[in-house]
Structure 1
Amino acid sequence: MKTVVIIPTYNERENVQWIVSRVRAATPDATVLVVDDNSPDGTGALADELAASDTSVRVLHRAGKEGLGAAYRDGFRWALTAGFDRVVEMDADGSHQPEQLHRLLEASDAGADVVVGSRWVAGGGVENWAAHRRLLSRGGSAYARFALGVPLRDVTGGYRVFTAEALRRIRLDVVQSQGYCFQIDMIWHAVVEGLRVVEVPITFVERERGSSKMTMDIVLEAMLRVTGWAVTSLPSRLRRRRRAAPSLVE
Structure 2
Amino acid sequence: MRVPFVKMHGLGNDFVVLDGRAESLPPIGAATARALADRRTGIGCDQLILLEAADTADFRMRIFNADGGEVEACGNASRAVALLHGAAARVETAGGTITVAPSGSGARVDMGVPVFGWSDIPLAYAMDTAAMPVAWEGLASPMALRIGNPHVVFFVDDLDQVPLERLGPEIENDPLFPERINVMVGQVTGPAEIVLRVWERGAGLTRACGTGACATAVAAMRKGLVEGREATVFLPGGPLHIEWGEDGRIGMTGPAEESFRGSFDWGKFA
Which is helix-richer, 1 or 2? 1
The TM-score normalised by the length of structure 1 is: 0.28
Q: TM-score, normalised by structure 2?
A: 0.27
